[in-house]
Structure 1
Amino acid sequence: MNRAIKIAIQGGAASFHETAAKELFAASSISTLPCSSFEELCHTLQSGVADFAVMAVQNSVAGPILPNYRLLAEHGFSITAERWLLIDQMLMALPGQQLSDIKEIWSHPIALLQCNQFVEAQTNTTSKATADTADTARVIKEQKIEGVAAIASRKAAELYGLEILQENVANELDNFTRFLVIAPTPSLKVANKVTLLLPYPVVRFSLDAVLDVLSTRNLELTMLQPLPSVHPGQPEAWVLEAECHNACQITEALAALQVISPNLQVLGLYEKAKAPLPQNRLNGCLSSVLQKEPELV
């Protein structure tokens, strides 16, 4: 009998990462390994305890989670697949609580960002960042914390017996997050999407040449963003994502880009997932560098 595939996820039972893992590995038997942070997720994968990891990297409301791309680069991991998941953020509390009873709203910082309009509209409450959406619901239930509500999924409310005080509290009803499957070692294969890192000088001095490579091979640029800098000053690298219909176009484009930037780092070649929204509604993907603002280029 084949053993279950071990998948490291950020969060635990009823988390969005668990849901994404089950969808991404729908044809396999899996067991999820809960991690309290993305850093712990990466260490779990690198240690060999997990076979793969599932990691969120972009939200249609909050934008890209850029530090996660840096983690992928630092650990030498490889992206092998992606999937968009509809995020149903709900406000929940102990049974019998009313919205007027709530003094604090707890959730993961990305969830709070996705729902900041609702949170800020609750003038008599404060917010608190926690490690995970679903685990916050568990803590409220197990510790019987009154006056505190969690933002988490409907599954979390059902699992931990909390009452939903308000449905769909995200800034937009079309609230999607993109999750990646991460392998511990590089796995470069023929595919129709690429994620790579370009050194800052390449973007600073050779951006036109990079864009020309993509254009002449009919690749669509879907992300160009600077990674958060470890040291003050200019970013050290930019994350670029591009996709096409023909996998051969990616291979040709990579060969040309490696001439322009021999030190580029390929984070993954994989099959693109169908985007749930038009590109202009996938928040924060293309940097203003494309408008050639003087301070950037």
Structure 2
Amino acid sequence: MTDTPYSLDDIRQNVSRIDNEIIKLLAERRKLSLEVAKSKIQTAKPVRDQAREHDLLLRLIEAGEAEQLDAQYVTQIFHTIIEDSVLYQQAYLQKLANPDSLQPVARVSFLGAKGSYSNLASRSYFSKKQTKLVEMSCSTFRDVISMVETGNADYGVLPIENTSSGSINEVYDLLQHTSLSIVGEISQPIEHCLLTAVDTGIDQIDTLYSHPQPHQQCSEYLHSLGNITQEYCSSTAEAMKKVAELKQPNVAAIGNASSGELYGLSPLKTNIANQPENVTRFIVVARKAVDVTSLIPAKTTLIMSTPQKAGSLVECLLVLRNLNINMTKLESRPVIGNPWEEMFYVDVEENLKSPVMQEALEELTRVTRFIKVLGCYPSENVKPTEVEIEE
């Protein structure tokens, strides 16, 4: 065994000292990123400069290798730091563009009680805005929207699509009939676990509580369990609360492990989703639309219905293609009361105020029966700048 001049306590104290220094340096770096945002206002430069990010990562990889740090480790850390910097600058620029929306406290409605995935997404989104929350739990998606429409909440957070189970149709249908605007988005990793209130074994579980979406997202694992009774709840939080109250060895809930701790539950089995990377995209709605500065990437969401004739949808999509507007989502939903008629939801990567988007809306108005903009909002999906890493 190799002797060391330091005791374990000495080593831990040094590790804590270094960790504190890292925290201070991260805070200093974040403050400098704000100064960068201020300078970009003067020069009208966009927040992201991916060519510079690429060069920065290459330089950091080289510096890391000189300190015996592997390239994968360095890039993973700095992708996170760069993402934080971009979102921090975007939030600052958006506050300047929307001075009336400055609020130290925001009332936010979401599905389920504390610990639900919608609650986790709400906290994650507004933490980046440095806004304190008044959390308002709701039992249905309709209630989430109603709370905002009536002025009882400032914002509503709604899941819109999942990488495993696809679109949340109920939310899309509600968007047809609301006057609210989409003002933001966030993608939230979903980490499904099998949670129980008492020590037990998987072979003893015969009843599973959850919201229908997690059931669908974990269908392959649930199928492997055999004859399991699936009890649907209004949210994952309600499911966890139910299992906590029952305290029986034969029941379990699907939910997040950290949220389960709020209800005294422990994970019996982790990572049970069909896809390893299970992510839900949430939208944020408010009574008033926001202006998105041209310095940051924006998305616009609209709904439209087309004439009942061959090629009408294609004609609409050609408008976007010819104007070089990238469409990231196309979803069709039936129009209630009009059999066989569809309403199309479209997400595009373009600022509503840009000349090209205004031209697109003008042409789409000409070739559609109905068109409505649901919102223009900052794109929160910060794609990492790729660099080639030599093995």
**Shorter-chain TM-score range:** 0.7 to 0.9
Aligned counterpart for 1:239 among listed residues 339, 345, 351:
345
Per-residue deviation, residues 55-78 of structure 1 (Å, max 9, x unmatched): 000000011112212212212111
Q: Which residue of 2 aligns with 1:134?
A: 237
Q: Which residue of 1 aligns with 2:247?
A: 144
In structure 2, C-alpha distance between the alignment counterparts of 1:9 and 1:203, rounded to whole Å: 40
| 3-state DSSP of counterpart to 2:280 | strand
Quote how far apart the aligned CAs of 1:154 are.
1.2
Q: Which amino acid aligns with 1:208?
A: V
Distance 1:139 1:57, change over 3 A: same
5+ residue gaps, structure 1, are 278-297
Aligned counterpart for 1:258 among listed residues 346, 349, 365:
365
Asked if 1:107 corresponds to 2:206, the answer is no
Distance 1:203 1:274, change over 3 A: farther
Count of aligned residue pairs for this structure pair: 276
Structure richer in helix, relative to its length: 2
| 3-state DSSP of counterpart to 1:50 | coil
Mapping of residues 116-195 of structure 1, within 5 Å: 116-187=219-290, 192-195=298-301
Q: Which residue of 1 aligns with 2:172?
A: 69
| 3-state DSSP of counterpart to 1:76 | coil
Aligned counterpart for 1:9 among listed residues 110, 122, 130:
110
Asked if 1:213 corresponds to 2:319, the answer is yes
Per-residue deviation, residues 145-189 of structure 1 (Å, max 9, x unmatched): 441110001122211111211101110110000001101245565
Judge which range, 206-215 or 104-113, deviates more. Answer: 206-215
Structure possessing the higher relative contact order (Cα contacts under 8 Å, 6 or more residues apart): 1
Q: Which residue of 1 aligns with 2:81?
A: none
**Cα pair 1:83 1:180 within 8 Å, conserved:** yes
**Cα pair 1:105 1:119 within 8 Å, conserved:** no
Q: Which residue of 1 aligns with 2:188?
A: 85
Per-residue deviation, residues 223-266 of structure 1 (Å, max 9, x unmatched): 22211442473134111111148962333322322222262011
Asked if 1:45 corresponds to 2:151, the answer is no
**Cα pair 1:218 1:244 within 8 Å, conserved:** no
Distance 1:5 1:146, change over 3 A: same
In structure 1, C-alpha distance between the alignment counterparts of 2:214 and 2:164, rounded to whole Å: 10
Q: Which amino acid aligns with 1:156?
A: S
Per-residue deviation, residues 252-293 of structure 1 (Å, max 9, x unmatched): 32232222226201111112232779xxxxxxxxxxxxxxxx
Q: Which residue of 2 aligns with 1:287?
A: none
**Cα pair 2:292 2:376 within 8 Å, conserved:** yes
TM-score by length of 2: 0.66
**Cα pair 1:76 1:185 within 8 Å, conserved:** no
Q: Which residue of 2 aligns with 1:267?
A: 374
Q: Which residue of 2 aligns with 1:292?
A: none
Q: Which residue of 1 aligns with 2:71?
A: none
Alpha-carbon RMSD across the aligned residues, in angstroms, is 2.4
| 3-state DSSP of counterpart to 1:207 | helix
Asked if 1:29 corresponds to 2:132, the answer is yes
In structure 2, C-alpha distance between the alignment counterparts of 1:203 and 1:19, rounded to whole Å: 44
TM-score by length of 1: 0.85
Q: Which amino acid aligns with 2:371?
A: L
Quote how far apart the aligned CAs of 1:110 are.
0.7
Judge which range, 150-159 or 207-216, deviates more. Answer: 207-216
Q: Which amino acid aligns with 1:19?
A: L
In structure 1, C-alpha distance between the alignment counterparts of 2:140 and 2:352, rounded to whole Å: 36
Distance 1:183 1:102, change over 3 A: same
In structure 2, C-alpha distance between the alignment counterparts of 1:109 and 1:132, rounded to whole Å: 8
**Cα pair 2:289 2:376 within 8 Å, conserved:** no
In structure 2, C-alpha distance between the alignment counterparts of 1:129 and 1:276, rounded to whole Å: 35
- Percent identity over the alignment? 28
Quote how far apart the aligned CAs of 1:42 are.
1.5
**Cα pair 1:67 1:228 within 8 Å, conserved:** no
In structure 1, C-alpha distance between the alignment counterparts of 2:215 and 2:148, rounded to whole Å: 27
In structure 1, C-alpha distance between the alignment counterparts of 2:353 and 2:248, rounded to whole Å: 53
Task: Say which one has the larger Rg.
Answer: 2
In structure 2, C-alpha distance between the alignment counterparts of 1:246 and 1:194, rounded to whole Å: 6
Quote how far apart the aligned CAs of 1:220 are.
1.5
In structure 2, C-alpha distance between the alignment counterparts of 1:176 and 1:149, rounded to whole Å: 22
Q: Which amino acid aligns with 1:214?
A: L
5+ residue gaps, structure 2, are 1-102, 385-391
| 3-state DSSP of counterpart to 1:264 | strand
